[in-house]
Every structure is written in C-alpha cells, then in structure tokens.
A and B are shown apart, each in its own frame.
Chain A
Amino acid sequence: SYVLTQPPSVSVAPGQTATIICGENNLGSFNVHWYQRKPGQAPRLVIYDDTDRPSGIPERFSGSTSGNTATLTITRVEAGDEADYYCQMWDSSSDHTRGEHVVFGGGTKLTVL
C-alpha cells in the first residue's frame, strides 16, 4: 500500500516562496492533487492532476511532480496562506476494488512568520 510522506511543518516569511514536498515511490506516475485546509473549514482543492489550478486559485500556487516527489510551490506568500496542506494520490491503473489506490498525505502546516 502507498504512504505519502509530507514534512509536518514549513515556515516562511511573507513575500517569500514556500515549498511543500510529498514523497512516495514512483509518485510521478500517478495523479497528484493538493488541498488547503484552514481551521474550521472544509479542505479546498488548490492543485489537481499534478499541475492544474482550479478556477479562483491564484497563480501563486503551482504544482509539479518528478520521480518519487510531488511539490506544491506558493510564491509571494501571504498571511492568508497559513493553513494545513495535504497531498493526495490516485493510482488510476491499479485494482480499485482493494481501495489502496487513493491515499492522502499526513499534511503540512504552513506557518507565515
């Protein structure tokens, strides 16, 4: 089964760039998505299919994948970006009946200093 590994926390000063990494063997072969969750709110999709941004998500948010890693990058970080960020993978080629093809990472708390 898959385990997505994220750093528990990332800290960045306003205006700087935040990089959040998600790791699993061969992750670049799967669909990877990213969610932002602020306290008391439902998660919000910020990146889907590795690199695509839903409408309404600022261009400051971008995603990439390569090899065993997926990366969420937030440029020109603002105080309002402070939240928990979760990666999620979907292995579209495996047997879905076993339920092992979809996994969330443990989450990364982004702190804006």
Chain B
Amino acid sequence: VQLQESGPGLVKPSETLSLTCNVSSGSVISNVYYWTWIRLPPGKGLELMGYIYHSGDTTYNPSLKSRVTISVDTSKNQFSLRVNSVTAADTAVYFCARVVLYSGYVDSWGQGTRVTVSS
C-alpha cells in the first residue's frame, strides 16, 4: 500500500487545518486495518491524533478530541483530517498511516507533510 498526504502547508491561527490521505495499491475497506493520522511537532515526539475504520467508527486522542475530526471516503479510497481552531502548537509534520488491528502497530506510513500555523 502507498499513502500520500495532501493539503495546505500554511494555516492561519484560529482557522481549520485540513489534510487528505490518498491510499493506493490497497483499499481502505479492510477488516484488518485502521487508518490514522500521526504528527511530529518540531523538537517533540510522535503523537497519534486518532484513527478510523472503514465503517466510519473513530477513536481520538483525548487531548485533541474536541478539535479533531477524521473521516473516510471509501468511494475515493481516501481519508481526511480536520483540526479546528489551530494555534502555533499545531505546527508539525503530519503523517497519514495504516494501523494493524488488534496489535496496533503502524506498518505503512505516508511521507509526511509539513504544516505551519502562522499569520
């Protein structure tokens, strides 16, 4: 499988960050995988933001739950991330990735896209 992130590299404070992950050489409709967004802020560690099953069932990081929405479009074989009310603390490299059910490890990653929050 291959994953590719797309979306704006610059977002203004208080606005909404939107990214899409296109999945190729594989299907989001799978009963063995979740689809996830993980970010890496500068100088910090990896943070799993949430994940989604092809049915649309989602799980979110409790520290971000109020601002994050992950959705899936099975007809386009892609899934998306929205983060509301962004601040400079949301500046990071954002990765879309695939998580193996039951064990929970990430076996495939997109290359990552850098998003900067600045006016």
Contacts and interface: CB of A to CB of B under 8 A. Distances in A.
Interface of A: 1, 31, 33, 35, 37, 41-45, 48-49, 54, 86, 88-90, 92, 96-107
Given A86-B46, A102-B48, A104-B46, A92 B62 contact: no
Contacts of A48: 100, 103, 105, 107
A86 B59 CA distance: 21
A30 to B, nearest CB: 9
B105 A49 contact: yes
B45 A98 contact: no
Interface in B70-119: 95, 100, 102-107, 109-112
B interface residue count range (under 10 / 10 to 19 / 20 to 34 / 35 or more): 20 to 34
Contact of A45 (B40, B59, B105): B105
Contacts of B61: 99
10 contacts: A31-B105, A33-B105, A37-B40, A45-B107, A48-B107, A88-B46, A89-B104, A92-B104, A104-B38, A104-B47
B8 to A, nearest CB: 20
B7 to A, nearest CB: 16
Contacts of A1: 62
Nearest to B107: A45
Given A99-B62, A102-B104, A42 B95 contact: yes
Contacts of B46: 35, 37, 43, 86, 88, 104, 107
A31 to B, nearest CB: 5
B111 A106 contact: no
A94 B109 CA distance: 25
Contacts of A92: 102-104
A42 B107 contact: no
Contacts of B109: 42-44
